[in-house]
Structure formats: C-alpha cells, structure tokens
Amino acid sequence: MTNALFNEILGRALVDVDFQKRLLDNPEKALRDEGIEPTEDLIAQLKQLDAKKMQSAMRMLERRFFASAKTK
C-alpha cells in the first residue's frame, strides 16, 4: 500500500461524511464499494482512525482554507 492511496482515502473521508461513516463502520466494504481492493496494511491503518479525530482534522482544514481565501 502506498501513502498516496491512504492519503487519497483519508482526504475523501474528510470531505465526504457518508464515505467517512461507511469507512469507519466497515473499512473493507467501504473500499470495495469504491472499487479499491483493501490490503491488510491499509485496513490496519484505517482501523486506527476515529470519528472525533477526523472531524477535528476537517475543522482545521476548513479554518486554513478560509484563512487563505481571505488573504487572496
């Protein structure tokens, strides 16, 4: 598994609440539903995620986005 794939999945989960919920509930099924064949390493990494940390990361990204938009 590449970091790029994990980062892509994580990024999607941060902006797509439905995908995030499915990913947290059943990562293997959520990935297969998206056409991604999950590896053991990928599932292990995804199982370490939790909803509170993801929501916190989303709020941080939103603040950074809106702060940078104000400076342009």
The H-or-E segment that residue 16 falls in is none
Most confident of 7-21, 23-37, 56-70: 23-37
In sequence order, which residues have a C-beta less than 8 Å from that of residue 30 and are 6 or more positions away?
19, 22, 23
User: Residue 42 CB: number of other CB atoms within 10 A?
Assistant: 19
What backbone torsions phi and psi does residue 15 show, to the nearest 5 degrees? -105, -10
Higher pLDDT, 72 or 71: 71
Q: In which band, very low, low, confident or very high, does the pLDDT at 58 lie, cut at 50, 70 and 90?
A: confident
In sequence order, which residues have a C-beta less than 8 Å from that of residue 35 and are 6 or more positions away?
none
